[in-house]
Structure 1
């Protein structure tokens, strides 16, 4: 092999090496970007999990309050019916 062929081979090898290093550098940058995105997704996911738990607690409290209000409304309605019946009985006796 002549010296020129050897130099050409080394030059070609250097060019291939430089391209491979450039691809590796780009791959590392892409990986770093994906890892940052993944970390943001993890943080957002944890935030959503926390918010969901808070909303579930609020929903439970609201449902319990709604049940108490419904029970109270039912009790008031029953008492009104009893009061109306008592008034009717009193009116019937006075006639």
Structure 2
């Protein structure tokens, strides 16, 4: 009987070790999947950042052009007002 008990104990230990190994493999697969998903999300974020940076540059350029146009319109209005005042003063 002691041999049967030893074999039974060894089989139980082996079964326990196989279950632990199976659980660890599952954990590693899940960790790998999560890592892949995180890498994909990081890639999307980098693409979004690049796109947003381009849009920001375009918006800044447009803002600069509008500011320049505003200064030009203001200058022309001042010139027109001065011309009107000069004509009225005559």
TM-score bucket (shorter structure): over 0.9
Q: Name stretches of at least 5 consecutive residues in structure 1 with no aligned partner.
A: none
Determine if the alignment matches structure 1 residue 50 to structure 2 residue 61: no
* Aligned mate of 1:85, from 68, 82, 87: 82
**2: CA distance, partners of 1:75 / 1:5:** 103
**Cα deviation, residue 13, structure 1:** 1.1
2:29 is aligned to 32
Partner of 1:68, secondary structure, is helix
Larger radius of gyration: 1
Deviation at 1:86, TM superposition (A): 0.8
Post-superposition, which runs of at least 4 consecutive aligned residues in structure 1 deviate over 2 A? none
Q: Normalising by structure 2, what TM-score?
A: 0.96
Report the alpha carbon displacement of residue 33 of structure 1 after superposing the two structures with TM: 1.0
Q: CA RMSD in A?
A: 0.7
